[in-house]
Amino acid sequence: MRDLVADFTKHLAKAIEIGARTSFRNTDRKIENVLISGLGGSGIGGTIVSQLVAQEIKIPVIVNKDYSIPEFVNENTLFIVSSYSGNTEETLYALEAAEKKGAEIVCVTSGGKVESRAIEKGYNHIIIPGGLPPRAAFGLGFPQLLYVLNQYGLITNDFEEGIKDVIKSINSNDSEIKQQAKYIASSLKDTIPAIYTEASFEGVAIRFRQQVNENAKMLCWHHVIPEMNHNELVGWAGGSDKFSVIIFRNKTDFYRSQKRIDINKEIIKKHTSNITEVFSKGYSAIEKMLYLIHFGDWISVELADLKQIDATEVDVITGLKDELSKL
């Protein structure tokens, strides 16, 4: 897993190469909404994209992580299938439901049943390299969702330069990121981490939570500012040093949210002193998000090393899928 995390910028560069050469057939449909369907390491890309394009796209972008799909889906819905393996059970059910609704379907996958269905039905699709754990393929799959939206004329391709910039930033700060990640991991070990971000960066928190779960085999939770100030902050009255806090921040976060974070820290310090902040680098939202995601990925594998466990192993998920296959 360390090698796969280290390859993140290579994956992003490969993704640009794949996305830039992609050409879709045209459609006369008026796209009125977008539904991105995917789970786990494939689904997090949809969450990140929905937040990144919120200030640009003129139509709703919804993320679906279930067997079923919303009733609003129709022939004017752009339904994006995001399944790295191409065999995700829930996503295949959702795909079948979207077909019955007559949606405009696009598939992003490395193969499996999704690729077969896309070829059989003539759906627009993007095939990315396979053979990786889905969570380690984020850098390959996530950018393709942006390319899909661009192909349908829903966003510009400005994101491409942002990805190129973050590749340079991560590569130039590689040693510093690893060193800081190792230090932070040592403070999170043997605790239950609470992960916080501003609401517009929630995808970063979700990604880190998932990586801590899968790579470090640890329980943790996440919440966002300002919503957590209306509920969870009160719950910290029951906090203790068995909990740690990590806050992913941007110097450009809304000024009132920044003040909330500072006040939150003072309140939480009464119950645990284990509070860490990680600030992004970069200028655009996509640079900042990808920088923080990569930083979090390194923390998760450092945690796995400190616990002397295999970051790649997810036998419990495999076992669950085996049991479901018996139905």
Instruction: Please indicate whether residue 227 is annotated as part of the active site.
Output: no
**Whole-number Å distance between alpha carbons of 117 and 111:** 10
Q: Which two three-digit tokens encode residue 257?
A: 């949210």
Burial (CB count within 10 angstroms: exposed 0-12, middle 13-18, buried 19+), residue 153:
exposed
Residues 6+ apart with CB under 8 A from 45: 36, 38, 82, 138, 141, 142, 145
Which residue among the candidates 90, 115, 202, 214 is catalytic per the annotation?
A: 214
Residues 6+ apart with CB under 8 A from 216: 300, 301, 303, 304, 307, 309, 311
Strand locations in the chain, DSSP E? 33-37, 61-64, 77-83, 104-109, 124-127, 192-198, 221-225, 243-249, 275-279
Instruction: Please indicate whether residue 230 is annotated as part of the active site.
Output: yes
Instruction: Please indicate whether residue 271 is annotated as part of the active site.
Output: no
Which residue among the candidates 10, 100, 121, 321 is catalytic per the annotation?
A: 321
Task: Tell me the β-bridge partners of 107.
Answer: 81, 125
Give the orientation angle of helix 174-188 with respect to helix 159-172, to 10 degrees: 80
Which residue among the candidates 230, 251, 323, 326 is catalytic per the annotation?
A: 230
226 cis-preceded (ω within 30 degrees of 0) = yes
Q: Which two three-digit tokens encode residue 125?
A: 């699709």
| Residues with catalytic roles | 214, 230, 321
